[in-house]
A and B are shown apart, each in its own frame.
Chain A
């Protein structure tokens, strides 16, 4: 059975969290910005190719073509 005292002792034994040096912090920030920019560029890329591939068809989906009733034969 774990008592509250045991749990406190356990907590005290935990090493303090990793302290980043100024250089490590700077490098992490630099990498984070680069990843954000790369992700943004990737999203734009997919958007641009979608526009090129579907062209005006992408827009007409929400317009006439989409709303036109399905033709049925008697």
Chain B
């Protein structure tokens, strides 16, 4: 019996490449929204346990990012926005990325389950599974609703944070989930309007590729009209104070105004780019205000 070994080049991947593989910008948004879920939850969490929960959620998000880059390496190579990622650039092999992603995912889930609680760990496992198997493998290449349904994965971190703090779920974390869930489509569709050719070349059925720009602009406005009231809801339902309401109302207005400009835009993509940029600021401001003025366990509530 003879064994043939394929010649494998020793890896040239550095630490920076692995960090890039974890999508640090997505991770920063995940850790921030999870922190808000953790802080606004009622009751007291020991700082060390809170830190462990955040760390596990962050590593879990990074693992999901690595697995996404592993599976999507072929389409990433065909898009200008993603062609410089570590796998298409030849810095990390697909096998290394898969091993890294699966190992981190297992560590994050098991550690969260053993050191914090099982509900939070189960939610984290579901989030990673949803992002990798449901969004990346299945939906992304098959339907223009890919980011609508797939957005659920990005919306779950505040629920995981809440579950880590309380061991249970309630209406408030579901509201936070809904805010991010309805924020995702206008955010990504605004981007896809001016990256349409990129997505078409890669064969990804994004909404402007499949249904055209006009339909995408209409859908963006539709989701913005749902998102803005949802953004104000924590204040209306008494989960956040007047300072939150005073911030959520005007920025919700700006969001709708920008979505209207996108809807009416005929030449170029100036409004789409503005909406894309503002949508990031919008979500950041909403969650930052929740951190400051959330009830009952808001940042100030802890010291009251």
Could you tell me which A residues sit within 8 Å of B by CB distance?
18, 20, 23-24, 26-28, 30-31, 34, 45-46, 48-49, 52
Give the CA-CA distance A37 to B14 in the complex, in Å.
15
A23/B12 in contact, CB under 8 A:
yes
B232-269 toward A: CB 8 Å interface, digit per residue (1/0)? 00000000000000000000000000000000000000
Taking the closest CB of chain A, its distance from the CB of B47, in whole angstroms, is: 9
B10/A18 in contact, CB under 8 A:
yes
List 10 A-B pairs, minimum CB-CB distance, nearest first. A24-B10, A34-B15, A52-B48, A49-B115, A27-B14, A27-B12, A30-B14, A48-B48, A30-B15, A52-B46
Question: In the complex where A45-B55, A49-B48, A52-B46 touch, is A27 in contact with B13 (Cβ < 8 A)?
Answer: yes
Count, chain B residues at interface, CB 8 A: 14
B52/A45 in contact, CB under 8 A:
yes
Give the CA-CA distance A28 to B11 in the complex, in Å.
8
Give the CA-CA distance A52 to B52 in the complex, in Å.
12
Show 20 residue pairs from A and B whose CB-CB distance is below 8 angstroms, ordered by the A residue.
A20-B10, A23-B12, A24-B11, A24-B12, A26-B14, A27-B11, A27-B13, A27-B14, A28-B11, A31-B11, A31-B13, A31-B14, A31-B15, A31-B18, A45-B55, A45-B115, A46-B115, A49-B49, A49-B52, A52-B46
B212-241 toward A: CB 8 Å interface, digit per residue (1/0)? 000000000000000000000000000000
Which B residues lie within 8 Å of A46 (CB)? 115
Taking the closest CB of chain B, its distance from the CB of A36, in whole angstroms, is: 12
- CB closest chain-A residue, reference B49: A52
Which A residues lie within 8 Å of B14 (CB)? 26-27, 30-31
Give the CA-CA distance A64 to B115 in the complex, in Å.
27
Which of A28, A34, A49 is in CB contact (< 8 Å) with B10?
A28
**Per DSSP, are chain A's interface residues mostly helix, strand or loop, or mixed?**
helix
Give the CA-CA distance A46 to B46 in the complex, in Å.
15
Which A residues lie within 8 Å of B10 (CB)? 18, 20, 24, 28
- CB closest chain-A residue, reference B116: A49
Residues 139-171 of B contacting A (Cβ, < 8 Å): none
Known: A31-B14, A45-B111. 10 other contacts (CB 8 A): A23-B12, A27-B12, A27-B14, A30-B15, A31-B13, A45-B55, A49-B49, A49-B115, A52-B46, A52-B49
Which A residues lie within 8 Å of B13 (CB)? 27, 31
Give the CA-CA distance A34 to B55 in the complex, in Å.
17
Which B residues lie within 8 Å of A20 (CB)? 10
Taking the closest CB of chain B, its distance from the CB of A74, in whole angstroms, is: 42
Give the CA-CA distance A24 to B207 in the complex, in Å.
43
Give the CA-CA distance A52 to B55 in the complex, in Å.
17
Taking the closest CB of chain B, its distance from the CB of A40, in whole angstroms, is: 14
- CB closest chain-A residue, reference B104: A38
B49-80 toward A: CB 8 Å interface, digit per residue (1/0)? 10010010000000000000000000000000
- CB closest chain-A residue, reference B7: A18
Which B residues lie within 8 Å of A26 (CB)? 14
Taking the closest CB of chain A, its distance from the CB of B35, in whole angstroms, is: 18
Give the CA-CA distance A23 to B55 in the complex, in Å.
31
Give the CA-CA distance A24 to B8 in the complex, in Å.
13
Give the CA-CA distance A52 to B47 in the complex, in Å.
10
Which A residues lie within 8 Å of B115 (CB)? 45-46, 49
Which A residues lie within 8 Å of B46 (CB)? 52
Give the CA-CA distance A46 to B111 in the complex, in Å.
9
- CB closest chain-B residue, reference A45: B52
